[in-house]
A = this chain, B = another copy of it.
Amino acid sequence: MEIHELSREEIDRLLKRAPLGHLACAKDGQPYIACVNFAASDRHLYGFTTMGKKVEWMRANPLVCVAFEEVKSPREWATAVVTGRYEELPDAHGTVELRDYAYALLQSKGRQWWEPGYVRTVLRSGERPLEPLYFRISIETATGRRAGLDPIEAAQPKRPSPSVLSSARRAVRKALNAVIR
């Protein structure tokens, strides 16, 4: 297996294809992760969710990170990681067009994009209220990597053994034990 960097064009294409993203936000230094359906335009990721912990946190600190993956197998995948700023698209003058745009973009992805946000959720404390909310992430940085079989594996598809690492571990333990005892 070998990992290579994606070009900006490859990242853009991945963002447009990829379905669910992992969205990380942070409050007082504590990160939090949630899954959100996104639809990408050139400079933004448009999303839909319902009021809850992540929205409260992103209102307090708009800095976020979103990770997308396309996984063919555990050793053949592509990933894109975006950092950016949360921006809410409220039901207000000035954002009607943006909300319509977000709706059309999400709709065009052809999945149940309002899930898992807009889904009846039964918690021990009761049923979660469903207050819909559109938002977007303005993309500040975007990096991407692709993993694939290296030339040797591709020619001879056999999994490499972990002997390199495990023998290194054994050597480390032996050396340390010799020092300690």
Contact = CB atoms under 8 A, between A and B. Distances in A.
Given A162-B107, A180-B93, A74 B35 contact: no
A103 B5 contact: no
A81 B33 contact: yes
Contact of A93 (B116, B118, B119, B176): B176
A176 B95 CA distance: 10
A62 to B, nearest CB: 9
A124 B29 CA distance: 31
User: How many protomers of this protein does the assembly include?
Assistant: 2
Given A75-B112, A103-B166, A24 B31 contact: yes
Given A32-B81, A75-B112, A132-B165, 11 more contacts: A1-B115, A1-B116, A25-B31, A26-B31, A30-B83, A91-B176, A96-B173, A96-B177, A112-B159, A116-B147, A118-B165
A83 B32 contact: yes
A72 to B, nearest CB: 14
